[in-house]
Amino acid sequence: MRDKWDLTKVSCLIAEDNPHMRSILRSVLAGFGIRSAYEASDGAEALEMVVDRKPDIVLCDWVMSPFGGNEFLRILRADRDLVISTTPVLIVTAHAKRATILEGIEIGIHGFVAKPIAPAILYRHIGEILERQEMHGRSKGLLGPGHQQPLRKLNVTDISSTAASEPSADQAGLALL
């Protein structure tokens, strides 16, 4: 896979209930060259934005109130419109427990990044997700219905019990998928 992607024509939806985190993600995406970034404060608003704007990729928090990433993803994947139901979703959350990651994979995520985010890891995930889509076509996630076989073995690591000390390089961005 490439190390450099041109993301200037990519549109992205940020589904995040924390306004400060939305601002950070918008700034990071602008640094990648992404000029079309939309924002939603919960899963219900995100669904409306996906239908209305049809973004190329969604960055979605897992825990939002009142309507979280889990509900958003289940409804999105069940949509009858193939473009909407196969919209790539990258989960960006502080809830990096193994059970959460596995549930997301089962529902149909395309990738997972733990907060605090490392911009380089987020960039790589966005680029790789869009490149896989370009090479293999749209899918309903890594392992969901209509999925493509992953290009590499999935290595799921639970770091939720890691001490508050400095994380290792592998854990820093929790680049799991």
- Confidence category of residue 34, pLDDT binned at 50, 70, 90: very high
11-172 topology per CATH: Rossmann fold (3.40.50)
The residue whose two tokens read 């450099």 is 4
The per-residue pLDDT for 127 is 95
Rg of the chain over Cα atoms, rounded to whole angstroms, equals 15
Q: Which helix (H) or strand (E) holds 23?
A: helix 19-31
| pLDDT tens for each residue of 124-152 | 999 999 999 998 888 898 864 444 444 44
Q: Are 130 and 5 in contact, with CB atoms under 8 Å apart?
A: yes
| pLDDT tens for each residue of 82-114 | 999 999 999 999 998 999 999 999 999 999 999
Residue 56 pLDDT > 90, yes or no?
Answer: yes
The per-residue pLDDT for 2 is 52
Supply the mean pLDDT for the chain. Answer: 84
- Confidence category of residue 70, pLDDT binned at 50, 70, 90: very high
Q: Are 58 and 13 in contact, with CB atoms under 8 Å apart?
A: yes
Q: Where are the domains of the chain?
A: 11-172
The per-residue pLDDT for 3 is 64
Residue 19 pLDDT > 70, yes or no?
Answer: yes
